[in-house]
Structure 1
Amino acid sequence: MASEATTAPSMAARELRGLLTNYRRTWRASIFSSVLAPLMSLVALGMSLGKIVDSGPGAHSFGTLDGRPVTYLVFLAPALLANTGMQTALGESMYPVMGAMKWQKTYHAAIASPLSALDVYLGHLLFIGFRILMNCGVFLGTMALFGAVRAAGPAGLGPLLALPAAVLTGLAFAAPVVAWAVTQERDTGFSVVFRFVMIPLFLFSGTFFPVSQLPAMIRPLAYVTPLWHGVDLCRGLALGTATAGSVLLHVAYLSAVVGAGVWYGARTYRRRLNP
């Protein structure tokens, strides 16, 4: 069995290749979450609700872009892109990890090969990153289809730059959650994460309205969440309002969370797979 010291990117890539090979046979089951879910979100929230917001007293309160008022659809879509990264990450980081550890035993098969526990963790994290990139790419295409993408930022590439920002946002959730999920013997905690972490973050991290409109007491809580940093980064890049300082701050924060998650995951995977 390989030791942690021999871990190399090529070894983690072997785990990733195995997961991708399996995904070639199961990708059809993810069509709803990858395509239909973002489509329904934009129609229900961006277009239907957006028409009500744009015709109400808060109309044209989201700034301007190229001299034109920013509609609620254009304001909301980049935030939903960041949320797609978070939701994909959480969906891929809990039950699939428990399945690989407890039910399907694929982790045990991997560790019986030259792969180390860290290789297994990093390979699975890379696969989740691929899934986040795929889902966010589909969502960005859906945004363009419904007119929610406008050229902004350097060379008009702001919306495209929001894509890696959304992937980084998703990885900031995936890295620590995967590390925690591998330690679980029961799935009770997963429903707690979905109900009391994902949903409140979705509602109160600046997705639907600026965090500045929250009560002053809970505003600081929103500012320290990875999702707020992801939402603000994606929106700032997509609308061309991001500054170099804000981009560096958000990227540094999200990268630090990913790094802390990898540090934690290296230990939890070693304890579970190399008892």
Structure 2
Amino acid sequence: MDTLAALGYHLASYRRVWRSSVFSSFAMPAMFLIAMGVTVGGYVDARGGSGLGVPYLAYIGPGLLASTALQVSIGESTWPVFSSFNWIRSYHAMRATPLTAGAIVRGHLSFIALRIALASAAFLLVLLPFGVLRSWWSPAALLAAVLAGLALAAPTFAFAAVVDSDGYFAVLFRLVVVPMSLFAGVFFPVGGLPAAARALAYVSPLWHGVELCRAAILGTPTAWGIPIHAAVLLAWIAVGYTLAVRAFTRRLED
């Protein structure tokens, strides 16, 4: 019940602004698919250079879905968390009630999971007219996207709770989010990367999310098998959640 109470706060806040996200939830995926999948993909397919077994549009569609989950996740777990500690101090107000630090973390993560699910559902609807959904298991990509998003959101919660300036988020984006988005299998297979870069891709939650989304939408096998990819994402979530609860507890108990 404590988790639901914390979730209720975020839902009440989102109810006042949800309309502003509806257009971007559909327009941004469509523009990305046209720009990368249709335009660039047309050149790639025409020259037979993809070697992917499917048209380039079908290849990057699931990857962009996982990447969208990443963008929603990082957007909701950086400045919103930092501001709840330092600017609007809503976490402190919650802690003044019977809510524990753990309940506050779970409530906010639950809200982010909902946001990821809604954005991913919109992305799937956009993929439908492009003919990318090739498997009856395509709806399972929603779960994969949520897991991938939470795998990044949970440790980012811990990071946002301990930094003393929001300027650190620029470092996070430049050194983690952007490289992950470019080199985690969204636009091309990671097998062609140098060994060190390939190892980093395998560790990143986005690569595992991309593999699961691609398997669900295209009906193709994953690189390591679905259980292993899911286990890695769950491990990211578990470790990140533990660190976040500890960081929240220190901040709210001082």
TM-score of the aligned structures, taking structure 1 as reference length: 0.88
Q: Does 1:50 align with 2:41?
A: yes
Contact 2:77 2:157 in 1 (8 A): yes
Of 130, 154, 173, 1:194 maps to 173
Of 216, 223, 229, 2:195 maps to 216
Supply the distance in 2 between the matched residues of 1:243 and 1:192 (Cα, whole angstroms).
Answer: 32
Q: Does 1:86 align with 2:70?
A: yes
Structure 1 counterpart of 2:111, which letter? Answer: F
Supply the distance in 2 between the matched residues of 1:119 and 1:33 (Cα, whole angstroms).
Answer: 30
Q: Matches of residues 148-187 of structure 1 in structure 2 within 5 Å?
A: 148-150=132-134, 152=135, 156-157=136-137, 159-187=138-166
Supply the distance in 1 between the matched residues of 2:223 and 2:52 (Cα, whole angstroms).
Answer: 21
1:32, CA displacement in angstroms? 5.0
Q: Matches of residues 196-275 of structure 1 in structure 2 within 5 Å?
A: 196-242=175-221, 246-275=225-254
Secondary structure of 2:200's aligned partner: helix
Which residue is equivalent to 1:101? 85
Supply the distance in 2 between the matched residues of 1:191 and 1:245 (Cα, whole angstroms).
Answer: 32
RMSD: 1.5
Supply the distance in 1 between the matched residues of 2:204 and 2:158 (Cα, whole angstroms).
Answer: 18
- Residues 20-69 of structure 1, C-alpha deviations (whole Å, 9 max, x = no match): 0111001123235422221211111111111111101315x222xxxxxx
Supply the distance in 2 between the matched residues of 1:244 and 1:230 (Cα, whole angstroms).
Answer: 12
Secondary structure of 2:16's aligned partner: helix
Q: Which one is further off, 231-240 or 166-175?
A: 231-240
- Residues 151-207 of structure 1, C-alpha deviations (whole Å, 9 max, x = no match): x2xxx22x1111110110000000110121022221111011112211111111111
Structure 2 counterpart of 1:232, which letter? Answer: E
TM-score of the aligned structures, taking structure 2 as reference length: 0.95
Q: Does 1:41 align with 2:32?
A: yes
Taking structure 1 as reference, are residues 244 and 75 closer, same or farther at Cα in structure 2, changes over 3 Å only? Answer: closer
Q: Does 1:139 align with 2:128?
A: no
Structure 2 counterpart of 1:167, which letter? Answer: V
- Residues 201-253 of structure 1, C-alpha deviations (whole Å, 9 max, x = no match): 11111111111111234222211111111111111222212269610000000
Secondary structure of 1:206's aligned partner: coil
Identity of aligned residues (%): 45
Q: Does 1:26 align with 2:10?
A: no
Contact 2:211 2:222 in 1 (8 A): no
Q: Which one is further off, 35-44 or 160-169?
A: 35-44
User: Structure 2, unaligned stretches of length 5 or more?
Assistant: none
User: Structure 1, unaligned stretches of length 5 or more?
Assistant: 1-9, 64-69
Supply the distance in 2 between the matched residues of 1:35 and 1:191 (Cα, whole angstroms).
Answer: 26
Supply the distance in 2 between the matched residues of 1:211 and 1:243 (Cα, whole angstroms).
Answer: 13
- Bigger Rg, which one: 1
